[in-house]
Structure 1
């Protein structure tokens, strides 16, 4: 069973993404704290680079939970060290520590899907 929302790329929409994760994990009897943290970061990145609606998807297969965020930007995600004066640039390190694996794949019509498999 998959759970999907299409959200406007606005910071306040991150709560709806977290709520979707909480709903899915609740139905599966799983703790959602770390997944809510991950989806917030994925959504925030997508909302920042995309002027178009963002798709948030939560799925489960073979005992693993997959989080995905689709946006219309072709801007790549880069895992890089942020300087001490930079306000952003640390979120992917958090994701990298919390998930089993993550990556990016291009979408057929342009844009990308950023995905994470929860540990």
Structure 2
């Protein structure tokens, strides 16, 4: 119930009523409501999320790069982190376009401590880092991401797909 207003107790009461649970209900019911402080001022910009559905074709990678560049610029990252983020997004998207299946999605998330770039697709084959030979034309994307990012990984998603992600640690602000 995102955006619900009131104290956690008020929100819980509304949820229980909306579910039709009455005092004579004979089974256990548990409701968890999370309340976090609103972020305003400069901190309000520290928690962001942006996503782009990737429609196939050769134009998907440049569109993803332009999207990532615009989002990272709007989040006012340093030029170096902006460029690394765009490179990571490009490599993850290209990997998904070459080896994944639709639906594909690029997602960028910012917290107070991390920039996370994630690409999901409909194929459950998890990528692995490998060493490309000098003459190889492919096989360097995950190695590049692993080199420039603080961390990277992949996981299977519900429904048979996968998510491949990387994160960059953000400098702490005083």
Same fold (TM over 0.5): yes
* Cα pair 1:11 1:44 within 8 Å, conserved: no
User: What's the counterpart of residue 76 of structure 2?
Assistant: 29
Normalising by structure 2, we get a TM-score of: 0.64
User: What's the counterpart of residue 82 of structure 1?
Assistant: 132
Question: Is the counterpart of residue 99 in structure 1 residue 168 in structure 2?
Answer: no
Runs of 5+ consecutive residues of structure 2 not aligned to the other structure: 1-47, 170-174
When the two chains are superposed, the root-mean-square deviation of aligned CA atoms in Å is 1.4
Aligned length: 119
CA distance in 2, matches of 1:77, 1:18: 21
Normalising by structure 1, we get a TM-score of: 0.91
Match of 2:121 among 56, 71, 88: 71
Higher-strand-fraction structure: 1
Q: Deviations over 1:17-46 (max 9, x none)?
A: 112211221221113111111111100110
Choose 1 or 2 for highest CA Rg.
2
Higher relative contact order, structure no. (Cα contacts within 8 Å, ≥ 6 residues apart): 1
Runs of 5+ consecutive residues of structure 1 not aligned to the other structure: none
